[in-house]
Structure 1
């Protein structure tokens, strides 16, 4: 067994470096505003949330495995050298495979953070995102078995008009 770290190990180690649990993203945004920076979107180029880390790690590892399978690249330094070309090819393939626009956008965000390049794969045209295309959590759920819609018509009309789910309308 060799001493060389594998590409997956290197990728996870890089994501570990990007993780800053306990640091406030809100405070970072406030200090940037006080410094006079104006921005539409803001990124500290770090990961503050464990759920974001989990999602980004899934996307990055899928990308890494894709580069190994398609291009035979086994070193993260080689992926870094070709990051723009590989990310563009990967995301273009995901669009061709008709992956959700939300998925492709999340994958691009994960790769941008991973490679620390805000304009990575800018040439990839991500399809427009539409609320009607979201299938998750729009159907009947287990909690609906005992729900009497006739008793809640005004509330249902309000929630549909706002696009909210029942649990989103509840008190915090």
Structure 2
């Protein structure tokens, strides 16, 4: 008697796991995949994979509880929108439901322009619950006992994972940066490897900043490397923390789980923007609208959605974006700048 096909004995959990792990394309070029049309079946970031897998498991749990007759991913697909609506009805944030819709889209190959794609509630700034006001977790976090950590975060703008990987050797001075730039620029283009060219670009990004010391993030979001300027009134204390940490040891052995890292990162971003932003009235009207014939400021960013009409200096936003490790200035406007 032949063996049964193993595909039919895998439970939903294993089927979903196999599906998502089969999409892993960490380190591969998303740009190339988009060019050849294969990006729909790939997940390029480990953090994205973790997020999708986490919320897919919530979906699998729902199916097992509400529709136990479904034993395959194919049969469960028709309940995707039912589950997403149930999640919306639970008063989850629009951000969470949006993420879950994307996770289901990836799992089942449902595109945002498909008729069956679930459209979650609009995401508005005033609805953000994270890092706004006092939270329950704040009761378990002493700002006094964690004063140095808070100052460090506000002066470097690093993510939680980046803080955890930071070593004593990751303090870099502008003098070191300029020396390495000169060394790389002394070579001919043919002598530079792709890795050399990429590193040279990262080093040159520091020309955007006025600061003298930087925190070297070796692997940030999406695997990107960057140098984040150390800013603010506590810069000397932060630099000293680096210098007093042995080269291969972690700068922070423990990061309190209730530390509001995103809030500190937002303060860092806002401080950088304020330091580099030009008065809007001083930015020239250097563009001409083809439709109306009116002049406009091409270097001014106009916010949308709930911040519609607010204007920002694109040059300062770029500086801020590079410091945070993002590629799009719109992310800075939508998620970090506060109180301007």
Whether these two folds match at TM > 0.5 is: yes
Equivalent residue number for residue 89 of structure 1: 82
- 2:274 matched residue in structure 1: 158
- The equivalent of 2:124 in structure 1 is 130
Structure with larger RCO (C-alpha < 8 A, sep 6+): 1
Shift of 1:130: 1.1
Structure number with larger C-alpha Rg: 2
Instruction: Judge conservation of contact 2:101–2:120 (CA < 8 Å) in 1.
Output: no
Report which of the two has the higher share of strand.
2
SS at match of 1:18: coil
Q: Distance in 1 between matches of 2:18 and 2:81?
A: 23
In proportion to residue count, which structure has more helix?
1
Across the aligned residues of Structure 1 and Structure 2, the Cα RMSD in angstroms comes to 3.8
Structure 1: runs of 5 or more not aligned: 33-41
Q: Structure 1's 121 and 31: CA in aligned 2 closer, same or farther, altered over 3 A?
A: closer
CA displacement at 1:138 relative to structure 2: 4.3
5+ residue gaps in structure 2? 135-142, 155-232, 235-269, 276-310, 326-340
Change (3 A) 1:145 1:92: same
- Equivalenced residues, count: 152
Distance in 1 (CA, whole Å) between partners of 2:44 and 2:273 is: 37
What's the CA shift for 1:120? 7.0
For residues 99-138 of structure 1, the aligned pairs below 5 Å read 99-118=92-111, 119=114, 121-122=116-117, 124-138=118-132
For residue 16 of structure 2, the aligned residue among 11, 34, 39 is 11
CA distance in 1, matches of 2:323, 2:28: 29
